[in-house]
């Protein structure tokens, strides 16, 4: 029987609560499937370790996880460590060297969840956002000189390479082609940012010729926020830069009901390195340790992990279990207006898995 080795990295805040819920659901999923098992290795990397040792992960950290089949990640961020230190010390320290250049964020309104958009209840909002995850505005290029002096200068330089833009564009067109509508929206700000964003548009047009069966259009990122809120049904697959897609995907998560539900995959499509799956939410200091974190974002990320591992029927089964549970309002956590606790939702998903008789 196949055993998948998963590196579990809960990180900070509610990370440990949602990752232990995720491990429970994945274990139940493997048990119901019968065709594979999981072996989880747990890593205590995060801000507590940083405060004690000065490093979020050991020097050989990436070597310890580079042969795992996938990484399940919670959140990075603590109230007493600057966010840019945490992000670069842990999350980006994994994403960038493992070349997880395609960040994929599906958004749907799950059964039982209410969108803040009037007149939008389900099928009108079914998107996948593809975020360039290796360069652009988050390339880390820049610096500060004359610190604290009146003449202080600070720069963050966006870096866009032809290779980097072409590969994310190909990934996005291929993903759009795999979905029923075969429709891609390419987001830029190529009116104001007249170098890299213009190259992005040119490469989109070039790559589009390789995908004659995919229709596509272009949007400026500011106008895109209006289209997402006023005409969600006109969108399907979306591709945008690291910064633009970061912002648009939080908007997407909110429009679909809650940040606590939204999933992400950080993919290395060539599979030279493990890919990383995580809920899009952060450490949620305000509810840490209360046992009320919504684990659905982690469960849905686990669905994406199962798809990536090549277990589509287990993935479909876990998604059915999630949708059965969200449909029941008595199983909603406080972020969805309910009273359920993380453990109640987790148990309900595990029970739904055990009771799922569909064989696909």
Q: Please answer whether residues 141 and 159 qualify as being in contact, where contact means their C-beta atoms are separated by less than 8 angstroms.
A: yes
Question: Least Å distance between CB 245 and Mn ion?
Answer: 9
Among the residue ranges 63-71, 143-151, 214-222, 274-282, the one whose residues contact ligand NAD (CB under 6 A): 274-282
Output phi, psi for 304, to 5 deg.
-65, -35
Distance (Å, rounded) from C-alpha 159 to C-alpha 178? Answer: 29
Query: Which residues does residue 108 pair with via DSSP β-bridges, in sequence order?
Result: 126
Query: Which residues does residue 17 pair with via DSSP β-bridges, in sequence order?
Result: none
Distance (Å, rounded) from C-alpha 222 to C-alpha 247? Answer: 11
How many residues touch Mn ion under the rule CB under 5 A: the total is 1
Name which of 251, 207, 209 is nearest 230 in CA terms: 251
Question: Least Å distance between CB 74 and ligand NAD?
Answer: 7
Question: Which listed option, Mn ion, ligand NAD, none, makes contact with residue 246 (CB within 5 to 8 Å by class)?
Answer: Mn ion
Question: Least Å distance between CB 110 and ligand NAD?
Answer: 14
Task: Assess 338 for contact with ligand NAD (CB under 6 A).
Answer: no
Write the CA distances from 21 to 9, 327, 359, integer angstroms: 13, 19, 25
Burial category of 251 from C-beta neighbours within 10 Å (exposed 0-12, middle 13-18, buried 19 and up)? middle
Q: Please answer whether residues 150 and 265 qualify as being in contact, where contact means their C-beta atoms are separated by less than 8 angstroms.
A: no
Tell me which of 246, 278, 335, 344 binds Mn ion, using CB under 5 A. 246
Tell me which of 185, 249, 266, 294 binds ligand NAD, using CB under 6 A. 294
The rounded Cα 28 to chain-centroid distance in angstroms is 22
Distance (Å, rounded) from C-alpha 250 to C-alpha 264? Answer: 11
Tell me which of 283, 301, 302, 326 binds ligand NAD, using CB under 6 A. 283
Question: Least Å distance between CB 250 and Mn ion?
Answer: 6
* Residue span 43-82 as binding mask against ligand NAD, x where in contact by CB under 6 A, dash where not: --------------------------------xxx-----
Tell me whether residue 89 or residue 297 sits nearer to ligand NAD (CB atom).
Answer: 297
Interstrand relation of 215-220 and 183-188 (parallel, antiparallel or unpaired): parallel
Question: Least Å distance between CB 331 and ligand NAD?
Answer: 13
Question: Which listed option, Mn ion, ligand NAD, none, makes contact with residue 75 (CB within 5 to 8 Å by class)?
Answer: ligand NAD
Tell me which of 25, 221, 255, 284 binds ligand NAD, using CB under 6 A. 284
Question: Which listed option, ligand NAD, Mn ion, none, makes contact with residue 344 (CB within 5 to 8 Å by class)?
Answer: none
Tell me whether residue 328 or residue 356 sits nearer to ligand NAD (CB atom).
Answer: 328
Question: Which listed option, ligand NAD, Mn ion, none, makes contact with residue 274 (CB within 5 to 8 Å by class)?
Answer: none
DSSP E strands, the chain: 2-11, 36-42, 70-75, 102-108, 126-132, 136-145, 153-159, 183-188, 215-220, 237-240, 263-267, 275-279
List of residues contacting Mn ion (CB under 5 A):
246
List of residues contacting ligand NAD (CB under 6 A):
14, 18, 75-77, 83, 91, 259-260, 278, 281-287, 293-294, 297, 333, 335
């Amino acid at each position: 029987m196949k055993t998948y080795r998963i590196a579990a990295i809960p990180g900070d805040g509610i990370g440990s609560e949602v990752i232990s819920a995720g491990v429970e659901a994945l274990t139940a999923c493997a048990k119901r499937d019968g065709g594979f098992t999981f072996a989880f290795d747990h890593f205590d990397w995060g801000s507590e370790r940083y405060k004690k040792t000065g490093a979020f992960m050991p020097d050989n950290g990436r070597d310890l996880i580079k042969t795992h089949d996938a990484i399940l990640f919670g959140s990075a961020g603590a109230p007493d460590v600057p966010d840019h230190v945490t992000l670069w010390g842990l999350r980006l320290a994994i994403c960038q060297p493992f070349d997880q250049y395609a960040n994929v964020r599906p958004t749907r309104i799950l059964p039982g969840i209410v969108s803040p958009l009037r007149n939008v209840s389900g099928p009108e909002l079914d998107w996948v956002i593809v975020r360039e995850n290796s360069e652009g505005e988050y390339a880390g290029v820049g610096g500060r000189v004359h610190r604290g002096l009146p003449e202080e200068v600070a720069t963050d330089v966006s870096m866009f390479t032809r290779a980097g833009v072409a590969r994310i564009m190909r990934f996005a067109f291929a993903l759009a082609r795999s979905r029923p509508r075969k429709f891609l929206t390419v987001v830029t700000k190529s009116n104001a940012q007249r170098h890299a964003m213009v190259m992005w548009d040119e490469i989109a047009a070039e790559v589009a010729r390789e995908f004659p069966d995919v229709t596509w259009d272009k949007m400026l990122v500011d106008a895109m926020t209006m289209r997402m809120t006023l005409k969600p049904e006109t969108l399907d697959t979306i591709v945008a830069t690291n910064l633009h897609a970061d912002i648009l995907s939080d908007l997407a998560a909110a429009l679909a009901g809650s940040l606590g539900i939204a999933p992400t995959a950080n993919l290395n499509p060539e599979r030279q390195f493990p890919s990383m799956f995580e809920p899009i939410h952060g450490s949620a200091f305000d509810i840490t340790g209360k046992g009320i974190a919504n684990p659905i974002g982690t469960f849905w990320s686990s669905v994406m992990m199962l798809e990536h591992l090549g277990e589509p029927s287990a993935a479909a089964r876990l998604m059915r279990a999630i949708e059965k549970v969200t449909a029941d309002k008595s199983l909603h956590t406080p972020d969805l207006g309910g009273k359920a606790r993380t453990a109640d939702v987790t148990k309900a998903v595990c029970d739904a898995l055990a009771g799922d008789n569909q064989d696909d």
